[in-house]
Amino acid sequence: MNKKEINDYIDDSINNKLYSKNHQYEYETKYYFKNRHAGLAGIDAEQSAGLVFHSIRQLRVWRKMEKLILTNL
């Protein structure tokens, strides 16, 4: 592989990892938010609310990372 191919591979890997993390946290947020009142696996409402807030914060972080990285590529 030459230098251009290696850089393209690295850029594609970065984009795929960002997409994957964003998709994971979007799914988690939707799942936890939908089931926030039922109590997941026997945990109370306060813990399930914490899971929702955590996945929302992580989703915001990864979206911002994606925006910053993709504008710099």
Sequence spans of domains, the chain = 45-73
Look at residue 19 and tell me whether its pLDDT is greater than 80. yes
- Please state, rounded to an integer, the average pLDDT across all residues of the chain: 86
Give the separation between CA 33 and CA 63, rounded to whole angstroms: 19
42 — pLDDT class (breaks 50, 70, 90): low
pLDDT of 10 reads: 92
Q: What pLDDT is stored for residue 50 in this prediction? A: 84
Q: How confident is the model at residue 70 (pLDDT cuts 50, 70, 90)?
A: confident
CB 24 within 8 A of CB 61: no
Crossing angle of helices 3-34 and 45-72, rounded to 10° = 160
